[in-house]
Structure 1
């Protein structure tokens, strides 16, 4: 009987896939679990610094999570869109301009993260 070759990366990659699937978490209260998450653009443009979806662990701890931004008093899709449309408002590290469609995507997604029971992280 001939044994199939064992590929050194096959086992670790399979194990990694299993471990990552086990890390999936339920959406926090107030966020629908069927929510598809952020649009691809939001994940690509913002996700390098901001936590853009649950469980809201920012890659850059100095960057506020999208949940924290969305739950600031007075934040609406209109106030977000207005701020995002004026790139001169951005911190220096946010060195890019957004097209109107991208501004709309970011603002619309952010307001979906508003929660009545939100408590800021300490």
Structure 2
């Protein structure tokens, strides 16, 4: 019986640890607090969970990973897999990774052909 309790405790601890990593991944702790703007061209669109993302090439040739909101947030913003295509020009307002060596940011708003798609409207700095 003691062995079964220890196994259950171990499984619970592993589950909690994995859940903590998921929360950290989806949080904002890895991103700078200041918002920046990225202009470029969409190279790839992924609408797969846990969050849709884009690959955007900037004018300098750097390929950026741009995380959007979770699938429901992204859809509520009006952005779907059919909204844009590879090759489309895009402007991303978001928070970049605190590790400046990584071309990675979390979008709060994307703009395509003059239309704004607000993933996190409550986080958008004053226009």
- Flag whether TM exceeds 0.5 (same fold): no
Between Structure 1 and Structure 2, the one with more helix by share is: 1
With the length of structure 2 as denominator, give the TM-score of the two structures. Answer: 0.28
With the length of structure 1 as denominator, give the TM-score of the two structures. Answer: 0.29
